[in-house]
A and B are shown apart, each in its own frame.
Chain A
């Protein structure tokens, strides 16, 4: 019998991030998402004869900013090249990209303490979109329709080294990268809409072997979940293949999310010969230290640094810090609340709890609500001072997000402020004592935990408007 051979996966990722500029990379056509088809096109991006591309400066600056955030070397000298292939979504029959002199190289990202090296970042133009007509889906269509709105939208391609060792790590790397480009404002990071796209290269090798196995490229990974599942499936498929004496062929495979499997798309023999050569219509870039310095000065606080600060300076747990930082809008909102309140932990709990639940349900960000940081700070303060209970705060948080206004005013208008008149509370307590002789008996016989139940009854009676601490104290006094 053979001993069981253990295999380990080797994974590398190519991420395409659509750059959030107003205009395309080589012409001034607009880049807005969801516009009427072919409404944002011009002779340059549709490849008319005699037109010339002119580089969008903002794309270069965003590329440099991303390179700095990912610890890359910024090239002093960089150029564009033509990549040749024929497909109807590419009207010029060439894609302007960067081949041997990319703008950034040799960076890295730390994921769970492990360094994932980044080979390169380069700039290129996106292709158009094909709509398959005549039937549902690509298989039954009789012809295709082309929308060139996306043609020429700037992309950054971020290529990792094959340093990733598990599907989960691949997901974490992509999530962190997505957060970084969102914090930088370079890309809105939406996998479902395709503004962030991910291709994965994966191979397996016996544990301890240095040489790589034959790699397979997986496409069509439209969510973080799809990325992880596709890699898990592919590693299992390759392991089965090898264990049954088969050989892995170098190919491109398509992830079918609804079928939970990958299928072969094309093999190496059918792979393209792109015949790159320097783009003669664009002059090279020379990037000096002063330009890089100016861009570095616009660098915002990055997710990693924010998490560290939330843990070390504000005292949040690692998982709470990670949760807050995962949404750039919520994290920046929290930063403003921190400056307004002495109790940032309470504010963080509201943000992660009721507020995030509401935002997820409505599929919006905190910036789309009517709640300013001042209001959350004020609400936290009202709770702290005992002016409203937690239960009341839970009732007003959604109205505050939907309609705005100050918490203090809302509490007053709705008559929700805590009953601070002790005599009034004592009256209610006396009534509860009279109505619940059994519980009172239990308490007097030493089962003091029953007090919780009795306090609950008072809270119910006052519809949450009493301070539970005060009620508890008054109860003990009355039951003496």
Chain B
């Protein structure tokens, strides 16, 4: 059973600030989602390998080649605050 406390914990982990109203709404939605999983659990999965990916594809890799052309300026354009070519962030 999902409680408001669980929702608050998950919100904290995801750095989300929720209103009281939202907390109530998500508590109900979380419960519904987990109820659905409980329904799935009834299926017999004996001798079935866990699925780790939906695609039946394996070993997609690239060769170790480096691209030296820099995207620096364009990428830094999206920094909330930039200083001397660095991303500037609040003190940690």
- To the question of whether A and B form a pair in one complex, the answer is yes
Chain A residues close to B by CB (< 8 Å): 21-23, 28-31, 36-43, 46, 48, 54-60, 79, 84, 86-88, 101, 130-134, 138, 141-148, 273, 275, 278, 280, 282-286
Beta-carbon contact of B64 and A23 below 8 Å: yes
Beta-carbon contact of A28 and B66 below 8 Å: yes
- Residues of B in contact, count (CB < 8 Å): 34
Provide the bound-state CA to CA distance between A417 and B62, in Å. 58
Provide the bound-state CA to CA distance between A28 and B70, in Å. 11
Q: How many whole Å from B58's CB to the nearest CB in chain A?
A: 5
Beta-carbon contact of B60 and A38 below 8 Å: no
Q: Which residue from B58, B87, B92 sits with its C-beta under 8 Å from A148? A: B87
Chain A residue numbers with a CB within 8 Å of B58 are 283-286
Supposing A41-B72, A86-B15, A145-B86 touch, asked if A284 and B66 sit within 8 A by C-beta, the answer is no
Since A55-B62, A131-B86 are in contact, a sample of 17 more A-B pairs with Cβ atoms closer than 8 Å, ordered by chain A residue number, is A23-B64, A28-B62, A29-B66, A29-B67, A30-B66, A41-B72, A54-B62, A58-B64, A86-B15, A133-B83, A138-B92, A141-B91, A142-B91, A146-B86, A283-B57, A284-B52, A285-B58
Provide the bound-state CA to CA distance between A275 and B57, in Å. 25
Q: How many whole Å from A165's CB to the nearest CB in chain B?
A: 36
Beta-carbon contact of B61 and A41 below 8 Å: no
Q: How many whole Å from A249's CB to the nearest CB in chain B?
A: 22
Q: How many whole Å from B4's CB to the nearest CB in chain A?
A: 18
Q: Which residue from A23, A59, A146, A280 sits with its C-beta under 8 Å from B66? A: A23
Beta-carbon contact of A280 and B53 below 8 Å: yes
Q: Which residue from A43, A55, A59, A143 sits with its C-beta under 8 Å from B60? A: A55
Provide the bound-state CA to CA distance between A155 and B28, in Å. 41
Q: Which residue from A88, A275, A284 sits with its C-beta under 8 Å from B53? A: A284
Q: Which residue from B53, B61, B87 sits with its C-beta under 8 Å from A56? A: B61
Q: Which residue from A138, A142, A146, A275 sits with its C-beta under 8 Å from B87? A: A146
Provide the bound-state CA to CA distance between A56 and B63, in Å. 6
Beta-carbon contact of B64 and A21 below 8 Å: yes
Chain A CB within 8 A of B43 CB: no
Chain A residue numbers with a CB within 8 Å of B88 are 143-146
Chain A residue numbers with a CB within 8 Å of B57 are 283
Beta-carbon contact of B64 and A22 below 8 Å: yes
Q: Which residue from B13, B59, B85 sits with its C-beta under 8 Å from A275? A: B13
Q: How many whole Å from B80's CB to the nearest CB in chain A?
A: 11
Beta-carbon contact of B62 and A88 below 8 Å: no
Chain A CB within 8 A of B1 CB: no
Supposing A38-B85, A283-B55, A283-B58 touch, asked if A88 and B72 sit within 8 A by C-beta, the answer is no
Q: Which residue from A23, A46, A273, A285 sits with its C-beta under 8 Å from B67? A: A23
Provide the bound-state CA to CA distance between A148 and B15, in Å. 22
Within 8 A of A (CB), among B10-38: 13, 15
Chain A CB within 8 A of B2 CB: no
Chain A residue numbers with a CB within 8 Å of B62 are 28, 54-57
Supposing A23-B64, A36-B85, A43-B71 touch, asked if A87 and B13 sit within 8 A by C-beta, the answer is no
B62-85 toward A: CB 8 Å interface, digit per residue (1/0)?
Answer: 111111101110011010000111
Provide the bound-state CA to CA distance between A56 and B60, in Å. 9
Beta-carbon contact of A57 and B91 below 8 Å: no
Chain A residue numbers with a CB within 8 Å of B55 are 283
Chain A residue nearest to B10 (CB atoms) is: A275
Chain B residue numbers with a CB within 8 Å of A21 are 64
Supposing A22-B64, A29-B67, A55-B62 touch, asked if A42 and B75 sit within 8 A by C-beta, the answer is yes
Chain A CB within 8 A of B89 CB: yes
Chain A residue numbers with a CB within 8 Å of B60 are 54-55, 282-283
Provide the bound-state CA to CA distance between A87 and B71, in Å. 23
Q: How many whole Å from A192's CB to the nearest CB in chain B?
A: 23
Q: How many whole Å from B8's CB to the nearest CB in chain A?
A: 14
Chain B residue numbers with a CB within 8 Å of A280 are 53-54
Supposing A28-B62, A54-B62, A286-B58 touch, asked if A143 and B67 sit within 8 A by C-beta, the answer is no
Beta-carbon contact of A37 and B85 below 8 Å: yes
Beta-carbon contact of B68 and A30 below 8 Å: yes
Beta-carbon contact of B67 and A30 below 8 Å: yes
Q: How many whole Å from A156's CB to the nearest CB in chain B?
A: 15
Provide the bound-state CA to CA distance between A278 and B51, in Å. 10
Q: Which of B15, B57, B87 has most chain A Cβ within 10 Å? A: B87
- Chain A to chain B contacts (Cβ below 8 Å), 15 pairs: A23-B67, A31-B66, A36-B85, A37-B85, A39-B70, A41-B71, A41-B72, A48-B75, A55-B60, A56-B61, A58-B64, A79-B52, A144-B91, A145-B86, A283-B59
Q: How many whole Å from A112's CB to the nearest CB in chain B?
A: 36
Q: How many whole Å from B30's CB to the nearest CB in chain A?
A: 15
Q: How many whole Å from B64's CB to the nearest CB in chain A?
A: 4
Chain A residue numbers with a CB within 8 Å of B76 are 38
Chain A residue numbers with a CB within 8 Å of B53 are 79, 278, 280, 283-284
